[in-house]
Chain A
Protein backbone atom coordinates (compact mmCIF):
# COMPACT_ATOMS: atom_id res chain seq x y z
CA UNK A 1 0.00 0.00 0.00
CA UNK A 2 1.32 3.43 -0.99
CA UNK A 3 1.82 5.47 2.12
CA UNK A 4 3.71 8.11 4.03
CA UNK A 5 4.41 7.22 7.63
CA UNK A 6 5.42 9.54 10.44
CA UNK A 7 6.66 8.78 13.92
CA UNK A 8 5.83 9.56 16.57
CA UNK A 9 2.19 10.51 16.10
CA UNK A 10 2.08 12.37 19.38
CA UNK A 11 4.91 13.87 21.39
CA UNK A 12 5.08 16.01 24.49
CA UNK A 13 8.50 17.35 25.30
CA UNK A 14 10.23 20.17 27.15
CA UNK A 15 12.00 23.25 25.90
CA UNK A 16 15.52 22.59 24.64
CA UNK A 17 15.37 18.80 24.41
CA UNK A 18 16.40 17.77 20.91
CA UNK A 19 13.92 15.65 19.01
CA UNK A 20 13.49 14.07 15.60
CA UNK A 21 10.26 13.33 13.78
CA UNK A 22 10.73 10.66 11.16
CA UNK A 23 9.02 10.51 7.79
CA UNK A 24 9.19 7.62 5.37
CA UNK A 25 7.53 6.95 2.02
CA UNK A 26 7.37 3.72 0.04
CA UNK A 27 6.56 5.18 -3.39
CA UNK A 28 10.07 6.05 -4.60
CA UNK A 29 9.09 9.72 -4.72
CA UNK A 30 11.73 12.34 -5.42
CA UNK A 31 9.95 15.25 -3.74
CA UNK A 32 9.34 15.38 0.01
CA UNK A 33 8.24 18.23 2.19
CA UNK A 34 7.38 19.19 5.76
CA UNK A 35 4.48 21.45 6.72
CA UNK A 36 3.19 22.71 10.02
CA UNK A 37 -0.48 23.37 10.64
CA UNK A 38 -1.59 25.97 13.15
CA UNK A 39 -5.11 27.19 13.94
CA UNK A 40 -6.02 30.20 11.86
CA UNK A 41 -2.85 29.94 9.79
CA UNK A 42 -3.45 26.88 7.64
CA UNK A 43 -0.45 24.85 6.48
CA UNK A 44 2.94 26.42 5.97
CA UNK A 45 5.95 24.76 4.43
CA UNK A 46 9.03 24.29 6.64
CA UNK A 47 11.52 22.54 4.35
CA UNK A 48 11.42 20.57 1.16
CA UNK A 49 13.66 18.21 -0.75
CA UNK A 50 13.70 17.67 -4.50
CA UNK A 51 15.87 14.55 -4.25
CA UNK A 52 18.56 12.84 -2.18
CA UNK A 53 20.99 15.35 -0.66
CA UNK A 54 18.95 18.26 -2.09
CA UNK A 55 17.06 20.24 0.54
CA UNK A 56 15.88 23.84 0.77
CA UNK A 57 14.02 26.16 3.09
CA UNK A 58 10.31 26.74 2.88
CA UNK A 59 8.41 29.64 4.40
CA UNK A 60 9.04 28.92 8.09
CA UNK A 61 12.39 27.11 8.46
CA UNK A 62 13.66 28.81 11.64
CA UNK A 63 14.37 26.33 14.42
CA UNK A 64 14.25 23.27 12.17
CA UNK A 65 16.71 21.10 10.29
CA UNK A 66 16.19 18.30 7.79
CA UNK A 67 18.29 15.73 6.00
CA UNK A 68 17.77 13.56 2.93
CA UNK A 69 20.36 10.82 2.96
CA UNK A 70 18.04 8.25 1.41
CA UNK A 71 15.22 8.70 -1.02
CA UNK A 72 12.56 7.21 1.25
CA UNK A 73 13.34 9.13 4.47
CA UNK A 74 13.09 12.81 5.31
CA UNK A 75 13.45 13.41 9.07
CA UNK A 76 12.61 16.72 10.70
CA UNK A 77 14.98 17.73 13.49
CA UNK A 78 14.31 20.24 16.22
CA UNK A 79 17.68 20.89 17.85
CA UNK A 80 16.31 23.03 20.68
CA UNK A 81 12.51 23.01 20.64
CA UNK A 82 10.61 26.00 21.95
CA UNK A 83 6.91 26.40 22.88
CA UNK A 84 6.20 28.27 19.63
CA UNK A 85 6.99 25.04 17.79
CA UNK A 86 3.97 23.40 19.36
CA UNK A 87 2.01 22.43 16.27
CA UNK A 88 0.68 19.68 14.04
CA UNK A 89 3.33 18.55 11.56
CA UNK A 90 2.74 16.87 8.23
CA UNK A 91 5.19 15.19 5.91
CA UNK A 92 4.30 14.88 2.23
CA UNK A 93 5.77 13.23 -0.83
CA UNK A 94 5.15 13.17 -4.56
CA UNK A 95 6.91 12.55 -7.85
CA UNK A 96 6.90 16.31 -8.42
CA UNK A 97 4.41 19.05 -7.60
CA UNK A 98 2.58 20.30 -10.64
CA UNK A 99 -0.30 18.08 -11.62
CA UNK A 100 0.68 15.25 -9.31
CA UNK A 101 -0.85 13.80 -6.21
CA UNK A 102 0.97 14.84 -3.09
CA UNK A 103 0.58 12.17 -0.41
CA UNK A 104 0.42 13.35 3.17
CA UNK A 105 1.37 11.47 6.29
CA UNK A 106 -1.08 11.18 9.20
CA UNK A 107 0.51 14.03 11.13
CA UNK A 108 2.56 14.41 14.31
CA UNK A 109 1.10 16.46 17.11
CA UNK A 110 3.96 18.07 19.03
CA UNK A 111 3.64 19.91 22.31
CA UNK A 112 6.65 21.74 23.71
CA UNK A 113 6.31 22.75 27.35
Chain B
Protein backbone atom coordinates (compact mmCIF):
# COMPACT_ATOMS: atom_id res chain seq x y z
CA UNK B 1 0.00 0.00 0.00
CA UNK B 2 0.94 3.63 -0.08
CA UNK B 3 3.43 4.79 2.51
CA UNK B 4 5.23 8.01 3.29
CA UNK B 5 8.40 8.07 5.39
CA UNK B 6 10.08 11.00 7.11
CA UNK B 7 12.82 11.43 9.65
CA UNK B 8 11.33 12.29 13.03
CA UNK B 9 13.50 15.12 14.28
CA UNK B 10 15.65 17.95 12.96
CA UNK B 11 17.46 20.53 15.01
CA UNK B 12 19.01 23.65 13.48
CA UNK B 13 20.30 27.03 14.57
CA UNK B 14 18.51 30.23 13.70
CA UNK B 15 19.66 31.58 10.35
CA UNK B 16 20.74 28.18 9.02
CA UNK B 17 18.91 26.30 6.27
CA UNK B 18 16.72 23.37 7.20
CA UNK B 19 16.16 20.43 4.91
CA UNK B 20 13.36 17.99 5.68
CA UNK B 21 13.31 14.81 3.65
CA UNK B 22 10.51 12.48 2.67
CA UNK B 23 10.18 9.30 0.64
CA UNK B 24 6.95 7.94 -0.77
CA UNK B 25 5.99 4.67 -2.38
CA UNK B 26 3.24 5.44 -4.87
CA UNK B 27 4.93 6.32 -8.16
CA UNK B 28 1.59 7.39 -9.62
CA UNK B 29 1.18 10.23 -7.13
CA UNK B 30 0.25 13.37 -9.00
CA UNK B 31 0.59 15.86 -6.17
CA UNK B 32 2.81 15.92 -3.11
CA UNK B 33 2.28 18.25 -0.21
CA UNK B 34 4.01 19.82 2.74
CA UNK B 35 1.96 20.80 5.77
CA UNK B 36 3.02 22.61 8.93
CA UNK B 37 1.53 22.03 12.36
CA UNK B 38 2.32 24.48 15.13
CA UNK B 39 1.78 23.44 18.75
CA UNK B 40 -1.92 23.19 19.58
CA UNK B 41 -2.98 24.13 16.06
CA UNK B 42 -4.36 22.45 12.99
CA UNK B 43 -2.47 21.72 9.80
CA UNK B 44 -1.54 24.53 7.47
CA UNK B 45 -0.72 23.83 3.83
CA UNK B 46 2.73 25.23 3.09
CA UNK B 47 3.12 24.23 -0.51
CA UNK B 48 2.52 21.45 -2.98
CA UNK B 49 4.24 20.25 -6.11
CA UNK B 50 2.86 18.57 -9.19
CA UNK B 51 4.68 15.41 -10.18
CA UNK B 52 5.87 16.76 -13.52
CA UNK B 53 7.92 19.42 -11.72
CA UNK B 54 11.39 19.01 -10.27
CA UNK B 55 11.42 22.09 -8.13
CA UNK B 56 9.13 24.73 -6.75
CA UNK B 57 10.22 27.85 -4.89
CA UNK B 58 8.05 30.05 -2.75
CA UNK B 59 9.86 32.75 -0.79
CA UNK B 60 11.99 30.93 1.80
CA UNK B 61 10.66 27.52 0.85
CA UNK B 62 12.11 25.30 -1.86
CA UNK B 63 10.62 21.93 -2.71
CA UNK B 64 12.69 19.42 -4.64
CA UNK B 65 11.16 16.32 -6.21
CA UNK B 66 13.17 13.35 -7.43
CA UNK B 67 10.53 11.21 -9.04
CA UNK B 68 12.94 8.43 -9.96
CA UNK B 69 13.94 7.92 -6.32
CA UNK B 70 10.48 8.92 -5.00
CA UNK B 71 12.15 11.50 -2.80
CA UNK B 72 10.74 14.85 -1.79
CA UNK B 73 12.49 17.51 0.24
CA UNK B 74 11.55 20.83 1.80
CA UNK B 75 14.25 23.40 2.28
CA UNK B 76 13.62 26.37 4.54
CA UNK B 77 16.15 29.14 4.04
CA UNK B 78 17.17 31.43 6.91
CA UNK B 79 15.27 29.34 9.45
CA UNK B 80 13.63 31.35 12.22
CA UNK B 81 12.43 30.33 15.68
CA UNK B 82 8.89 30.76 14.37
CA UNK B 83 9.54 27.90 11.97
CA UNK B 84 9.67 25.47 14.91
CA UNK B 85 6.81 23.07 14.25
CA UNK B 86 5.99 19.62 12.95
CA UNK B 87 6.22 19.27 9.18
CA UNK B 88 4.23 16.63 7.35
CA UNK B 89 4.83 15.29 3.90
CA UNK B 90 1.74 13.88 2.17
CA UNK B 91 0.66 12.30 -1.07
CA UNK B 92 -2.76 11.55 -2.49
CA UNK B 93 -3.77 7.91 -2.32
CA UNK B 94 -4.36 5.96 -5.52
CA UNK B 95 -8.13 6.28 -5.24
CA UNK B 96 -7.82 10.05 -4.98
CA UNK B 97 -9.89 10.09 -1.80
CA UNK B 98 -7.38 10.76 0.96
CA UNK B 99 -4.05 12.26 1.81
CA UNK B 100 -1.47 9.78 3.06
CA UNK B 101 0.67 11.53 5.64
CA UNK B 102 4.11 10.78 6.91
CA UNK B 103 4.57 10.66 10.68
CA UNK B 104 5.90 14.20 10.70
CA UNK B 105 9.30 15.78 11.28
CA UNK B 106 9.67 17.93 14.39
CA UNK B 107 11.84 20.93 13.55
CA UNK B 108 13.49 22.60 16.50
CA UNK B 109 15.16 25.96 15.91
CA UNK B 110 17.53 27.32 18.53
CA UNK B 111 18.66 30.91 18.77
In the assembled complex, B101 has its CB within 8 A of some CB on chain A: yes
How many Å lie between the Cα of A103 and that of B88 in the bound state?
14
Residues in A with CB closer than 8 Å to B31 are 98-99
How many Å lie between the Cα of A20 and that of B30 in the bound state?
34
Say whether B44 contacts A104, CB under 8 Å: yes
CB distance from B37 to the nearest CB of A (A): 9
One of A11-19, A38-46, A66-74, A79-87 contacting the partner: A38-46
Say whether B98 contacts A101, CB under 8 Å: no
| Range for the number of chain A residues in contact with chain B | 20 to 34
Nearest to A99 among chain B residues (CB) is: B31
B103 is contacted by which of A33, A40, A97, A104 (Cβ under 8 Å)? A40
A90-108 Cβ-contact flags toward B at 8 Å (1 or 0): 1010000111011111110
Say whether B98 contacts A98, CB under 8 Å: no
How many Å lie between the Cα of A5 and that of B68 in the bound state?
39
A-B contact pairs, 27 of them (CB 8 A): A40-B103, A42-B103, A43-B88, A43-B99, A43-B101, A44-B101, A48-B98, A90-B42, A97-B92, A97-B96, A97-B97, A97-B98, A98-B92, A99-B30, A99-B48, A99-B50, A101-B45, A102-B45, A103-B45, A104-B35, A104-B42, A104-B43, A104-B44, A106-B41, A107-B40, A107-B41, A107-B42
5 shortest interchain CB distances as A-B pairs: A104-B42, A42-B103, A45-B98, A104-B43, A43-B101
A-side residues, CB < 8 A to B, are 4, 33, 35, 40-45, 48, 50, 56, 58-59, 90, 92, 97-99, 101-107
B-side residues, CB < 8 A to A, are 4, 30-31, 35, 40-45, 48, 50, 88, 92, 96-99, 101-104
